[in-house]
Structure 1
Amino acid sequence: MNPHSIDTEQQPFVLIWEVTQACELECKHCRADAQPDRHPDELTTEEGIALLEDAADFGEGQLVVLSGGDPLAREDLVELVEYGTELGLRMTLTPSGTASLTPAVIDDLADAGLKRLAVSLDGATATAHDEFRGEEGSFESTMAAARHARDAGIPLQLNTTVCEETVEELPALADLAEELETVLWSVFFLVPIGRGRILEPIDPARADRVMEWLLEQANERTFGVKTTEAPQYRRVAIQQHSGGSVDTVDSDDRDGIGRRVGIRAGDGFAFVSHLGQVYPSGFLPEPAGSVREERIVDIYRDAPLFERLRDEDQFKGKCGACEFKHVCGGSRSRAYAYTGDPLESDPLCPYVPEGYDGPLPLETFAIPEEPV
C-alpha cells in the first residue's frame, strides 16, 4: 500500500496505537509526557485485539504502528504483533532505546511478523543522543538493537527530531542512517506539546533550508526520506522540481518525493491513545471519539473533527489562501499547539502566497507554557 493508492477520506495511510505511556526514558521532546509505570486504564489485550480487528476493516495491508511510551512495557506486545499480522495488517513498532529491546525480543518480533522497526536517534554520538533522551546508555542500546534488527531481516527506520538542539547533528545522522542500512529516515519537525514545550524549534526560513537539504539526501542516499509534521516538504519539493508552480505538477504523482497527496493529521493519519481516545495525530490532542465506544473505522471516516481536517477549503489565513494547500496544507498539529485552532496557519512555513494580504502566523515562536 502506498499513499497515492488509497482514499484518505476512507482509510488512513498510518494508524498509530500508543499501547502504553510507560517508559524508562525522560526525553526532552516527549509528546506523551511518559511515566515510569503503566496506566491502570490502558486498553487491555482483549480491547487491543478488538481494535486490530476493526483496523483490518479499513482494507488489506493497513499499516499499524505500535508506539508508546515504550511498547515493550506491555507483556502482550509480541502477541499483538502476531495477531495483527494474521489479520493481514502491516505491523510496525517504535520502541524506546532501552535495555528492554534485547536480541531475544527482536527475534520474537521478527518471528511474529513485524514488518518494520523504527528506532530514534537525535544525536550521532552517545553524548548528544543520551543528553536529549535523558538516559545514559540509550545510544548504545539503540545502536545494538538497530544492528540486530537489520541482521534479523527486519527493515529498519530511523526517526529524528529537528529542533535547535539537534539540527546540527543532521549530517552525521544521515551518515549513520546509511551505515545502519535503514530503509527510511523519518524527520520530525518539533511540535511544542508535552515535554517538547521546553525545546526551541528552528525558525521557518531555516526549516525550508533543512528541507531543501533533506531533498538532496533523498536523491543521494540509499534510504528514503520523509518528514513528520512538516508537510511543506512537498511544497519545497515542488518548487525545486516543477519550476515553483503547483500547476506544472503531474496530477498523477510527481511532487518530487513520490506522493500525489499529503499525509496530515486526520487526513491519512490517525492516532489511538493508550486509553482508547482517538486523535487526528498524537501531536494534535483533540479527541474525536473512543474505541471503547465506537469503531475506529467509523470515527476516522465520520467524526466531524476528521472531516474538517480533510477539507482544505476550511483552512484559515495564508494556509487557506495557498496554492499548495492540496499537496501540503501545513501542520494542523502545530497550528493547534500555537493557536488552539487546528485550521489556522502553520507558523513553521515562511511561504506567503502571491497576492495574499491577510494576517500572518506568529512572527516568532512564542511557545505556550501550557497546552492550549
Structure 2
Amino acid sequence: MSGPPPRVTTGDDGGSPPESVGSDAGDAAPPDPGRIDTDRRPFVLVWEVTQACDLACDHCRADAQPARHPDELTTAEGKQLLEDARSFGDGQLVVLSGGDPLVRPDLLELVEYGTERGLRMTLTPSGTASLTPETIAALADAGIRRLALSLDGASAAAHDDFRGESGSFEQTVAAARAARDAGIPVQINTTVCAATAGELPDLRDLVADLGAVLWSVFFLVPVGRGRVLDPVPPERADEILNWLSDVGEESRFGIKTTEAPQYRRVAIQRRRDASDAPEGDGIGRRLGITAGDGFAFVSHTGELYPSGFLPESAGSVRDGDLVGLYRNSDLFRSLRDPDGFRGKCGACEFRHVCGGSRSRAYAHTGDPLASDPLCPYVPEGYDGPMPAGRAD
C-alpha cells in the first residue's frame, strides 16, 4: 500500500490526550511521544478534578454525580499536584477532566497556575449550558491549550439520548464553534460501542465541519455506567480501525484511538510484514501510549491510576510522590513490560507496539496483564487460552 501513513496516534485515558497530534498555532510543538522515555515520565497526565457533572451519560467511566465529593483535592492540593507534575520535565501535558471540570469554582485559577509554571494545560468539559462563549473566552485568557468535547452521535437525537440530557448536542456544537472563534484548538471525543458505531461516518463529517484538529475515537471499556453497554465485536473493531486508517489518510484532522492499541497492529499489517513489528509501528514512532506507559491518571481524591479506566491505585499523590509512584510502583512498572503480559497478548509478536488494552483486560478479568478481549488477532502457533469476555 503506497502513500504516507495515517495521522493516527493511540492513547489510553480517562480523559483523552488532547495534544497527541499537531501543535497549537503560535506555540512550540508538544513533546514527541516517540522521544519521551515513558519509564521516566508520562506523555499525558490526566487529573480528574471532580466527579460532579449535570449529565448522566450511558458510558460514564466516573459514575458522575450531581454533587462534588467532600474529599476532592483542594485548591492548595491541586496546585501542589501541578508543582509535582513539573518534575517530570519541560512541557508536561496536563488534562483537567471530570465529571465536569467547570463545576469547580477554582478551575480558572488552576489553569492559570499550571500555565504560569510551564505546563501544557488542556480541558475536557461536559457539553452543558455552563460552557458559554464567555467561559470559553476566560479559559483562553487563562492559557488553556486545547478543548476536548464529546460527540457520540451526529444528530441531536442520537447524541442527547446517549448522553442522557436534552440539548447537549447543540450546546457541544456551539461550544466547539466558540472555542474555534476564541483561538482554542478543538478535539472531538467519540465513544465506540454497538449503539454508536453506525454514527461514525456522519460524525467524521461533523468533526471536519467543526474544524477540529483531532478526532479521539474511544473503544468502550466496561467500567462505571459503561458496564451496561454492548461493545462492538472484535472483528467489527478491526473493521472500524481499518476504516479509521482510511479516514486518517484523507482528512485534515488527526485521529487518535483510545483503548484500542491494536490500531498499530492493523497499521503494520496494512503496510508491511509483521516481522518488522518490534522495530516500529508503521505510523511514525516505536511505541504508543497506553495505561501506565506514557499515561497516568489522578482521581478526584488523589489516587494515582494507570488510566481512568483501570482503577487500580499505585498510591496517593497527597503523599507528595507523584513522580516516584509513576516511575517505581510495581503496578506501573509491570504495565511497561509487555513481555510479562499473559495469554495471547503476551505471545503476540506485536506486543511491544500494541500490547492490548490493559484497562479492558482488567475490566474483564481483574488482571491488568491479561489479554484484551476486543482484539481478534491470534498469533501464529498460539494454542493457549483465549481472553475472557470476548464479544464474539
Query: Which range, TM-score by smaller chain?
Result: over 0.9
- 1:74-223 map, 5 Å: 74-223=104-253
**154 and 246 in structure 1: CA distance in 2 versus 1, 3 angstrom threshold:** farther
Match of 1:347 in 2: 373
Q: Which residue does 1:303 correspond to in 2?
A: 329
Paired letter, 1:44: T
Q: What's the % identity of the aligned pairs?
A: 71
Could you report, residue by residue, the CA deviation over 1:167-192 in whole angstroms, capped at 9, with x for unpaired residues?
00000000001001111100000000
Could you tell me whether the CA contact under 8 Å between 1:262 and 1:326 is conserved in 2?
Answer: no
- SS, match of residue 169 in structure 1: helix
State whether residues 19 and 68 of structure 1, in contact with CA within 8 Å, keep that contact through their aligned partners in structure 2: yes
The DSSP-based 3-state class of the residue aligned with 1:117 is strand
Query: Once structures 1 and 2 are overlaid, which stretch shifts more, 7-16 or 291-300?
Result: 291-300
Cα distance, 1:283 vs structure 2: 0.1
Give, as a single letter, the amino acid of the residue that structure 2 aligns with 1:302. Answer: N
Tell me: CA distance 1:57–1:363, structure 2 relative to 1, closer, same or farther (3 Å): closer
Alpha-carbon shift at residue 246 of structure 1 (Å): 4.1
C-alpha offsets along residues 193-221 of structure 1, whole Å, 9 cap, x if unaligned? 00000100000000000000000111100
Q: Match of 2:146, as an amino acid?
A: R
- For the residues of structure 2 that align with 1:275 and 1:233, how far apart are their CA atoms? 33
Per-residue deviation at 1:248? 6.4
Higher relative contact order (CA 8 A, sep 6+): 2
TM-score (norm 2): 0.91
Structure 1 distance, partners of 2:174, 2:269, is 39
Alpha-carbon deviation of 1:242?
1.3
Structure 1: gaps spanning 5 or more residues: 367-372
| Residue 263 (structure 1) shift | 0.8
Equivalent residue of 1:292, what SS?
helix
Partner of 1:40: 70
3-state DSSP class of the match of 1:188?
Answer: strand
Counterpart Cα distance in 2 of 1:212 and 1:315 = 25
Aligned residues: 362
Contact between 1:238 and 1:246, CA under 8 Å: does it hold in 2? Answer: no
Which of 286, 298, 305 is equivalent to 1:272? 298
User: Is 1:325 paired with 2:318?
Assistant: no
Secondary structure in 2 matching 1:101: coil
Q: Deviations over 1:5-58 (max 9, x none)?
A: 100000001100000000000000000000000011100000000000000110
SS in 2 for 1:12: coil
Q: Does the Cα contact within 8 Å between 2:277 and 2:350 map onto a contact in 1?
A: no
**TM, length-normalised to structure 1:** 0.96
Could you tell me whether the CA contact under 8 Å between 1:279 and 1:286 is conserved in 2?
yes
Using the alignment, how far apart are the partners of 1:189 and 1:354 within structure 2? 25
Cα distance between partner residues in 1 of 2:225 and 2:98:
14
Aligned-partner Cα distance in 2 for 1:336–1:196: 14
- In the alignment, is the contact (CA less than 8 A) between 2:45 and 2:94 conserved in 1? yes
Relative distance call for 1:49 and 1:210 in structure 2 (3 A) is: same
Q: Deviations over 1:259-312 (max 9, x none)?
A: 320211000000000000010000000011001113211110011100111111
Secondary structure of 1:186's counterpart equals strand
* Pair 1:315–1:304, CA change in 2 (3 A): same
Q: Which runs of 5+ in 2 are unaligned?
A: 1-30
CA contact (8 A) 1:13 1:269 kept: yes
Q: Secondary structure at the match of 1:50?
A: helix
Output the CA distance in 1 between the equivalents of 2:372 and 2:390. 12
